[in-house]
């Protein structure tokens, strides 16, 4: 084998998924580049902002409808980012459940692992800077208060001890 083939490493984040309406075939789902992740995050964020600002209805049905529209409008763009095949042709050869599987893979590979790793990194940084995350203690002191729990009259035991 030529050295270039032997030294080539396969990215473990590349996933294969079966798609097809009549005949199944495998396609590869590649991880997003950082630039594409930023584009996708911006696309989703701006759509969510539009939904929250523009919609007076906040029911689950309205949100699900919004998410479906968001996917319909952007699935071809997303598929073009994560596969070697034209997104519009993939959409024509994919069932709804296969599309959900593809979206789950995209999320798991590109966002879920990043969130977990970022949380781990934040914890490591907090160890280096112990003052991070701790609330500042108040510099003002509390004034003394008088206790009103004692009674005016001594109890019988106190009177007996005093010899009265």
State pLDDT tens for residues 100-152. Answer: 899 899 989 888 877 777 888 888 888 888 776 555 555 555 666 666 665 56
Mean pLDDT of 13-23: 94
Give residue 32's pLDDT.
92
How many structural domains does the chain have? 1
DSSP 8-state assignment for residue 111: I
Residue 89 lies in a domain: yes
pLDDT at 65 over 60: yes
Token pair in block for residue 45: 């964020």
Residue 160 lies in a domain: no
* Distance separating alpha carbons of residues 130 and 63, to the nearest angstrom: 41
Q: 90 lies in which domain range?
A: 7-128
Residue 99 lies in a domain: yes
Give residue 2's pLDDT.
58
Residue 57 lies in a domain: yes
Q: Which comes out higher in pLDDT, residue 3 or 33?
A: 33
Mean pLDDT of 5-15: 78
Quote the crossing angle between the two packed helices 60-82 and 96-107, to the nearest 10°. Answer: 80
Angle at 158 between CA 152 and CA 161, to 5 degrees: 150
Give residue 93's pLDDT.
94
Calculate the alpha carbon distances from 121 to 89, 111, 127, 138 in Å.
Answer: 40, 15, 10, 29
Give residue 112's pLDDT.
85
Enumerate residues 6+ apart whose C-beta is below 8 A from 132. Answer: 125, 126
Q: Name the band, by pLDDT with cuts 50, 70 and 90, for residue 74.
A: confident
Residue 136 lies in a domain: no
Give residue 126's pLDDT.
84
Residue owning tokens 């940084």: 125
* Distance separating alpha carbons of residues 46 and 32, to the nearest angstrom: 19
Coil, helix or strand at residue 121: helix
Q: Which comes out higher in pLDDT, residue 39 or 147?
A: 39
Query: pLDDT digit string (tens) for 79-96?
Result: 999 999 999 999 999 999
Residue 116 lies in a domain: yes
Mean pLDDT of the residues in the chain: 79
Residue 36 lies in a domain: yes
Residue 93 lies in a domain: yes
- Give this prediction's pTM: 0.61
């Amino acid at each position: 084998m030529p050295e270039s083939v032997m030294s080539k490493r396969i990215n473990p984040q590349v996933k294969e998924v079966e798609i097809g309406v009549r005949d199944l075939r495998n396609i590869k789902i590649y991880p997003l580049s950082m630039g594409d992740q930023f584009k996708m995050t911006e696309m989703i964020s701006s759509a969510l902002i539009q939904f929250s600002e523009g919609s007076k209805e906040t029911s689950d049905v309205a949100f699900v409808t919004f998410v479906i529209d968001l996917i319909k409008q952007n699935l071809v763009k997303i598929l073009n980012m994560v596969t070697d095949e034209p997104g519009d042709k993939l959409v024509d050869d994919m069932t709804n459940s296969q599309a959900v599987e593809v979206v789950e893979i995209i999320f798991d590979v590109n966002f879920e692992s990043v969130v977990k790793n970022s949380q781990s990194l934040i914890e490591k940084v907090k160890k280096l800077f112990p003052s991070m995350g701790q609330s500042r203690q108040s510099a003002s002191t509390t004034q003394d208060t008088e206790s009103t729990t004692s009674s005016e009259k001594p109890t019988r035991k106190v009177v007996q001890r005093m010899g009265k």
